[in-house]
Structure 1
Amino acid sequence: MKAMTSKTPKDTLTIMTELVLPNDTNGFGNLMGGRLMYWMDIAAAIAAGKHCNAPTVTASVDNISFENPIKLGNIVHIEAKVTRAFTSSMEVYLKVWGEDSTQQYRYKSNEAYFTFVALDPNRKPRPVPQIIPETDEETALYDGALRRRQLRLILGGKMKPDQADELKALFFK
């Protein structure tokens, strides 16, 4: 296997744009949450794939909070980038904006964290390169990723709470 080169979050940046059509909306004329999650999963998969140059699969999706609805006819902008890489998994942070082109304004709709695992040709987890944050925002996302990972592992039954040292450090000095 050739040596892996570290990458930056900007190397993984993926921006996806969609137009909300009637088939994408609910009875209130809002973009259906499931359709948005589908688009977010695609954007996150592309960002993860850019990072590891390998096929990836979704391992988990953290809390997706819908702050503002996106209406029929509006444009959806999804920004995804890898915030941290572990052994074979990567955390991808997504921000979503709606854009009302007739009123000419853009607004935040939601954000979320997805976790992807890189696969080798036998569909088994494979190592991924590390991420090197460059900006203050990227460093904050990178630093928080270990705590978010520990929380995911606890909630998924893969880690005992007393093993989550990063999380414990928040509550016990």
Structure 2
Amino acid sequence: MKYKSFKESRVTITQLMLPSHSNFSGKIHGGFILNLMDQIAFTCASKHSRCYCVTASVNKVDFLNPIGVGELITLKASVNYTGTTSMVIGVRVESENITTGVKKHCNSSYFTMVAKDANGNNVSVPGLILETEQGVRRFARSIQRKAEASSRGNRFDPSKFIISEHLERLKGENVMLNLEEN
């Protein structure tokens, strides 16, 4: 199997934010930003794998700073992790006020993308050459996120959920229990 450096697949795009991208408060719609993030993750994954790729999951999207009409946004994507048929693409979004030059980090997220052949079957992807400490950190962090996601999914599986183990966690929350008797 072939291996590639993250440098061979990284992608950067910059776009001016227009009034048509905004919500009623004059800020850019989060959904519009997510769409751009998905597009750049697709582009990066497809460039790495040389295959059509689909989004399997998106890990944690926090909107850190609003983006205004008239600002430039720059999205940067790179491959952080490669599995057999999947890749984790790190996406960073920054905005820039074109009159002041002030830049803001607006969002970072991780897209798991799966490579597909012409028939829609999963295909193997090239591995990743790790050349820096940052590359090793990103790869290891992706392994950890994958393990945590699996654990999270299993812990709340309806067939394995034990309510008594979780009732204490509800104390102090904005919730009222009115459970039906079984």
If the TM-score is normalised by the length of the shorter chain, which range does it land in?
0.7 to 0.9
2:178 is aligned to none
Query: Which of 37, 40, 46 is matched with 1:40 structurally?
Result: 37
Describe the SS at the equivalent of 2:117.
coil
For the aligned residue pairs, the C-alpha RMSD in angstroms reads: 1.4
1:28 is aligned to 25
Structural mapping, 1:1-20, within 5 Å: 4-20=1-17
Segments of structure 1 that go 5 or more residues without pairing to the other structure are 161-173
1:122 is aligned to 119
Segments of structure 2 that go 5 or more residues without pairing to the other structure are 158-182
Identity of aligned residues (%): 32
- In 2, the alpha carbon distance for the partners of 1:9 and 1:50 equals 10
Report how far residue 153 of structure 1 moved.
3.5
Report how far residue 151 of structure 1 moved.
2.6
Letter in 2 for 1:143: A
Matched residues, number: 155
Structural mapping, 1:155-170, within 5 Å: 155=152
- The answer to whether 1:96 aligns with 2:96 is no
Query: Which of 80, 83, 88 is matched with 1:83 structurally?
Result: 80
Asked which structure has the greater CA Rg, the reply is 2
- In 2, the alpha carbon distance for the partners of 1:106 and 1:83 equals 24
Deviation by residue 1:94-143 (Cα, 9 ceiling, x = unmatched):
11100001111211111000000000121111111111121221211011
Report how far residue 156 of structure 1 moved.
5.1
1:171 is aligned to none
Deviation by residue 1:68-95 (Cα, 9 ceiling, x = unmatched):
1111100010000111110101000011
- In 2, the alpha carbon distance for the partners of 1:17 and 1:156 equals 36
Describe the SS at the equivalent of 1:121.
coil
Q: Which moves more between the two structures, 63-72 or 133-142?
A: 133-142
Deviation by residue 1:38-58 (Cα, 9 ceiling, x = unmatched):
000000000000110000000
- In 2, the alpha carbon distance for the partners of 1:133 and 1:83 equals 9
TM-score (norm 1): 0.85
Query: Which of 56, 62, 66 is matched with 1:65 structurally?
Result: 62
1:166 is aligned to none
